[in-house]
Structure 1
Amino acid sequence: MISICVYLGSRDGQDARWAALAERTGRLIAEQGCRLVYGGGRAGLMGRCADAALEAGGEVIGVIPEHLVSREVAHTGLTRLDRVANMHERKARMADLADGFMTLPGGIGTLEELFETWTWRYLQLHGKPLGLVNDNDFFTPLLDFINNATQAGFLDPTTNRMLLAEPTPEALLDKLLTAHHHH
């Protein structure tokens, strides 16, 4: 079974569209016969994505560090909850479990996970596809910054192209699955 890791906020965000996007993404992953891997929390977009995948009959693996079990409130209804020692182990475990990565709206933790996974790909520590769902232009300022860094000579165009960006979770999942099958 193909596992898709989703990085996303532990908050809901101001607009109800983000919650709907997280739920749509979780449901989509399950309906496509994939397993969801995520940060193991019950709150915010993270919890919504996991719940939607579970409700659609999907498998969900959460990975959470011990110090966040109480703070992010670990999701107790998952197929499996892996409790790890720290954030480094969390990210390494999520990356090991995943065949591809999707990033949805979130804050600095979400971006940190995206950038670390992308950096590992650039360093050839893995060859797994990764991308972000640019719903409602949430990530457009970030993509503009990345293009600016490329033009300024700090980022190779090849590295820039490794980061997929699609307006919908459906389009991004399709690209991740295509890339996985060709890998």
Structure 2
Amino acid sequence: MDANFSSKTLVSNLTVSEQQLVEIAKSISLNCKLLILDEPTSSLTDKETAKLFQVVKDLKKKGISTLFISHRMKEVFEICDRVTVLKDGAYVGCMNVSEIAHEDVIRAMVGRDLGELYPDKASKIEEDSYIIKVENLSGNGFDNVSFTLRKGEILGFAGLVGAGRSEVMRGLCAIDLYGTGRFI
């Protein structure tokens, strides 16, 4: 499985990717025939994802099946042979990945053609009107964060696990104390 760490290393000292390899190795040692991976790439880098996908492909060659659960369309098309779509907990259908396009899966997921994935904004954002303005907020796990949320706007925070998103939100909500910065 190409693990580059000692078998004596504590699991708590391994990266998330290495921990997944340990779990997969454990499953194989128990002669599993089906490996279930639920959002396995959610906290992996692209390089770690590639390594995981290679492991899954190698297992496939050995006759071990994988049930790969993901909301990332690119990954489904890269690693899966077939895709099953569920909508509101109900079975919609199963399709061969080699015979479909991304749009077919999206259509099955939402129950209609989407047209534009990102349509023009319906409401006009008022540039001078803001709900909250944060300047230079720093705290445990984040540093120098600034943003403005305007009336009628949806603001998203993105980043990998450990990037500080949750910590910023906890600071904003006064769940955790923040060090410096100001709210306007």
Scaled by the length of structure 1, the TM-score of the pair is: 0.27
Report which of the two has the higher share of strand: 2
Higher relative contact order (CA 8 A, sep 6+): 1
Report which of the two has the higher share of helix: 1
> Which one has the largest radius of gyration?
2
Scaled by the length of structure 2, the TM-score of the pair is: 0.27
